[in-house]
């Protein structure tokens, strides 16, 4: 398995619905724990998990070519992207 930096800059969605939920819950839990323990490392890890859950893109997944999206999720995102492109073409 090799790490590809060029794949990282594409910013394509690569985090599926289940993965988003797990990241969000784990991130919020780490943020809560970091408040009580005053741990900066837990705070940073929690923020990264919440951010990757929110944006649906993980730079580590992109670099290693991993994708946790299911087939239905990819198809649901494609029409939205096509609408945006058609609106840009119309202008």
Domain containing residue 19: 10-90
User: Is this prediction's pTM over 0.85?
Assistant: no
DSSP H stretches of helix in 15-70? 17-37, 40-55, 59-64
Answer whether residue 60 is part of any domain. yes
pLDDT per residue, tens digit, the chain (91 aa), is 566 666 666 677 788 888 889 989 999 999 999 999 988 999 999 999 999 888 888 888 777 777 877 776 664 554 455 454 555 555 5
Q: How far apart, in whole angstroms, are the C-alpha atoms of residue 21 and residue 89?
A: 35
Answer whether residue 2 is part of any domain. no
Answer whether residue 73 is part of any domain. yes
Give how many domains the chain has, as a whole number.
1
Answer whether residue 4 is part of any domain. no
Span 46-70, pLDDT tens digits: 999 999 888 888 888 777 777 877 7
Cβ partners under 8 Å of residue 8, min gap 6: 59, 62, 63
């Amino acid at each position: 398995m090799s790490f590809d930096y060029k794949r990282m800059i594409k910013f394509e969605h690569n985090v599926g619905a289940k993965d988003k939920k797990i990241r969000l819950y784990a991130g919020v839990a780490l943020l809560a724990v970091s408040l009580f323990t005053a741990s900066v490392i837990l705070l940073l890890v929690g923020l990264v998990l919440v951010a990757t859950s929110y944006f649906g893109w993980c730079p580590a997944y992109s670099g290693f070519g991993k994708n946790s999206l299911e087939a239905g999720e990819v198809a649901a995102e494609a029409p939205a992207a096509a609408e945006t492109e058609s609106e840009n073409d119309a202008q």
